[in-house]
Chain A
Amino acid sequence: MDIVVIGLLLGGTYALIAIGLQLQYGVARIMNLANGELLVAGSFGAFWFFSSAQLSPLLSLFIVTPLAFVFNWLIYQYLIRPLVRRAKNRGQLEVDSILATFGLSFIFVGLMTAIFGGEYFSYSYLEQPFNLLNQSYGLNRIAAFLVSVVFCVALYIWINRTQTGLTLRAVAVAPESAGLVGINVPNTLALAFALGGAVTAAGGASLSMFLTFDASVGVIFTMKALIIVIMGGVRAINGVIISAFILGFVETAVATLIDPGLTLAAAYLLFIFILLFKPQGLFGGHAS
Chain B
Amino acid sequence: MLKSKFRKLLIPALAIGAILMANPAASETIKIGAVAPKTGPLAGGSTVTHWPSIQLWVNQVNAQGGLKLKSGPAKIELIEYDDRTNPGETIKAVQRLATQDKVDFIIAPYGTGFNLATAPIFAKYGYPQITTTAITDKIPELTKRYPNIFFTLGDTTAFTKSVAEILSKMRDDGTIGNRVAMVNVADAFGIELANAARPIFKSAGFEIVYDKSYPLGTQDLSPVVKGAKASNPDAFVAWSYPPDTFGLTALAKIENLNVKAFYTAVATAFPAYQAKFQSAAEGVLGAGGVNPDTPEMMAFIKAHNEVTGKAPDYWASPVVYASLQVLQQAIEGVGNKDRAAVSAFLKENSFDTVIGPIKFNNQNNEAFWTVGQWQNGKFYGVSSTGRPGAKPVKAKSGW
Q: A127-B253, A211-B247, A263-B215 are in contact. Are A122 and B276 (CB under 8 A)?
A: yes
Q: A10-B220, A122-B246 are in contact. Are A216 and B85 (CB under 8 A)?
A: yes
On whether the beta carbons of A129 and B223 are closer than 8 Å, the reply is no
Q: A118-B47, A120-B272, A124-B276 are in contact. Are A211 and B41 (CB under 8 A)?
A: no
Q: 0/1 per residue, B44-74, Cβ < 8 Å to A?
A: 1111100000000000000000000000000
Q: 0/1 per residue, B200-237, Cβ < 8 Å to A?
A: 00000000000011110111111110110000000000
On whether the beta carbons of B39 and A260 are closer than 8 Å, the reply is no
On whether the beta carbons of A220 and B218 are closer than 8 Å, the reply is no
On whether the beta carbons of A260 and B251 are closer than 8 Å, the reply is no
On whether the beta carbons of B44 and A261 are closer than 8 Å, the reply is no
* A164 at the binding interface (Cβ < 8 Å): no
Of A109, A113, A124, most B-chain CB atoms within 10 Å: A124
- Determine the distance from Cα of A181 to Cα of B127 in the docked complex, in whole angstroms: 70
Which residues of the partner chain B approach A122 to less than 8 Å between Cβ atoms?
A: 246, 272, 276
- Determine the distance from Cα of A113 to Cα of B41 in the docked complex, in whole angstroms: 13
On whether the beta carbons of A252 and B243 are closer than 8 Å, the reply is no
On whether the beta carbons of A220 and B224 are closer than 8 Å, the reply is no
Identity of the chain B residue whose Cβ is nearest the Cβ of A252 in the assembled complex: B223
Which residues of the partner chain A approach B224 to less than 8 Å between Cβ atoms?
A: 255, 260
* A264 at the binding interface (Cβ < 8 Å): yes
* A187 at the binding interface (Cβ < 8 Å): no
On whether the beta carbons of A9 and B220 are closer than 8 Å, the reply is yes
Mark out the residues of chain B between 229 and 275 whose CB falls within 8 Å of any chain A CB in the assembled complex. 242-243, 246-247, 250-251, 253-256, 267, 270, 272
Q: A259-B212, A261-B186 are in contact. Are A120 and B254 (CB under 8 A)?
A: no
Mark out the residues of chain B between 97 and 136 whose CB falls within 8 Å of any chain A CB in the assembled complex. none
Number of A-B contacts (CB under 8 A): 126
Identity of the chain A residue whose Cβ is nearest the Cβ of B185 in the assembled complex: A261
Mark out the residues of chain A between 238 and 288 whose CB falls within 8 Å of any chain B CB in the assembled complex. 251-252, 255-256, 259-261, 263-264
On whether the beta carbons of A118 and B46 are closer than 8 Å, the reply is yes
On whether the beta carbons of A120 and B44 are closer than 8 Å, the reply is yes
* A110 at the binding interface (Cβ < 8 Å): yes
- Determine the distance from Cα of A9 to Cα of B223 in the docked complex, in whole angstroms: 12
- Determine the distance from Cα of A285 to Cα of B136 in the docked complex, in whole angstroms: 53
Q: A212-B246, A263-B215 are in contact. Are A256 and B223 (CB under 8 A)?
A: yes
Q: How large is the interface on B (under 10, 10 to 19, 20 to 34, 35 or more residues)?
A: 35 or more
- Determine the distance from Cα of A256 to Cα of B221 in the docked complex, in whole angstroms: 10
Which residues of the partner chain A approach B222 to less than 8 Å between Cβ atoms?
A: 6, 9, 137-138, 141, 252
On whether the beta carbons of B44 and A264 are closer than 8 Å, the reply is no
Q: A211-B247, A212-B247, A220-B217 are in contact. Are A127 and B254 (CB under 8 A)?
A: yes
On whether the beta carbons of B267 and A120 are closer than 8 Å, the reply is yes
Other-chain residue from B41, B212, B221, B256 in contact with A129 (beta carbon distance below 8 A)? B256
Q: A136-B254, A216-B85 are in contact. Are A119 and B44 (CB under 8 A)?
A: yes
On whether the beta carbons of A120 and B243 are closer than 8 Å, the reply is yes
On whether the beta carbons of B43 and A138 are closer than 8 Å, the reply is no
- Determine the distance from Cα of A254 to Cα of B29 in the docked complex, in whole angstroms: 59
Instruction: Output the least CB separation between B111 and chain A (Å).
Output: 14
Identity of the chain A residue whose Cβ is nearest the Cβ of B218 in the assembled complex: A263
Which residues of the partner chain A approach B272 to less than 8 Å between Cβ atoms?
A: 119-122
Q: A113-B39, A261-B212 are in contact. Are A119 and B218 (CB under 8 A)?
A: no
Which residues of the partner chain B approach A123 to less than 8 Å between Cβ atoms?
A: 276
